[in-house]
Structure 1
């Protein structure tokens, strides 16, 4: 058991999730992770979990709780990205995208809400700028991330009276391994359309997550856009 407050991060092995692990550790949290690969070196305890599997999530949350203690903060950053025109998106691709992003958030929220209620904690979901602005060849990804916005706002209203704060960050294209070297989001033509003329960094997203977890005690059901000005 840790003598520090405990945070749970999904997808903490790389990218935004790994940056969140670092940021919350620096703020004094003992951080546990649920990650498909089962390896998040910066975390104190990691469990190999597919977040789309509700039973596995419940077991993983219980393991983190047993190892570190009651969970006071949750960040759901597990996910993946793929582009395809709507005509090429089959039923299985639709279902997988929704199971991982929307279903993963639901599974983690349901498994951790008893802890968050007891600790009067905070949950931050990672959505996407595409949930707000949309994008060609991003229909199933944008739909899944858009559903997260609705869930966050509704869940925030439901549990705020129990002392639980639920909020969201919506990053734009971020400089992580999720974006291939030849991704159109890395192209100079796209970057030149952004006010900051560059990708967002994982550390910038993590700083916003840290703020929502630790400092924004007044923030409930909010969406913080971290996207180099892609959505203003």
Structure 2
């Protein structure tokens, strides 16, 4: 069997770490990019995904040492609950540079090789807030909305070359990204969800793995496993 290499950003914890474990269980060799350690991956390197030079150099190193990257899953990101009038410009810019810029940098580094080989899959991580918005979540919602726009544009551009670009847009998920005092953890909100619970990171990883392996007919699709938060 040909070794399959998957690149996962934001792999030190939460959804990204769950993606690494899910793909590893399916036989993929995993390479992790994160500012922190990612012990579940076969290969891990500390990278700021907002820095295009770092991402490009690491992708070249991974493909030289491990083989061609056939799947890239971009889960790197952060979250903040701040009223729009209180968001500092540097925080606006950082939110966009990590979520949108991180996806752009990975795509620019991996998709030329994918297109040359005629196969590959990219999965971005958006959020249900990009679909429905949220109080005091303007810069996060805007960044995730930009991810959806980029995914759909790249899907149209790259699908003819055999490269599928899609996204998952999770709802509130039980990861450290949601602090204990998050409004999305309040019992009244959780109980109001049709499922009556938050999603697990492993469930989001399962949706992403579907887009990588089984969703060969998917291009520009946004799967939103959000426990019914947005219907």
- Shorter-chain TM-score: which interval? over 0.9
> In 1, Cα distance between the equivalents of 2:118 and 2:71?
9
Aligned to 1:181: 180
- Specify every segment of 5 or more residues in structure 2 that has no aligned partner in the other structure, as ranges: none
Aligned to 1:110: 108
Shift of 1:92: 0.7
Aligned to 2:43: 45
1:123 touches 1:167 (CA, 8 Å); kept in 2? yes
1:153 touches 1:221 (CA, 8 Å); kept in 2? yes
Shift of 1:114: 1.9
Aligned to 2:93: 95
> In 1, Cα distance between the equivalents of 2:45 and 2:118?
22
Shift of 1:115: 2.5
Aligned to 1:10: 9
> In 2, Cα distance between the equivalents of 1:133 and 1:214?
28
1:128 touches 1:171 (CA, 8 Å); kept in 2? yes
- Paired residues, number: 230
1:194-216 per-residue CA deviation (whole Å, 9 max, x = no partner) reads 10111110000000001000001
Shift of 1:181: 1.0
Shift of 1:3: 4.9
- 2:188 is equivalent to residue 192 of structure 1: no
- Specify every segment of 5 or more residues in structure 1 that has no aligned partner in the other structure, as ranges: none
1:45 touches 1:67 (CA, 8 Å); kept in 2? no
> In 1, Cα distance between the equivalents of 2:66 and 2:29?
7
After superposition, residues 59-208 of structure 1 pair within 5 angstroms as 59-117=57-115, 118=117, 120-208=119-207
| SS of alignment partner, residue 171 of structure 1 | coil
1:41-69 per-residue CA deviation (whole Å, 9 max, x = no partner) reads 11111111000000001111112212211
CA RMSD of aligned residues (A): 1.1
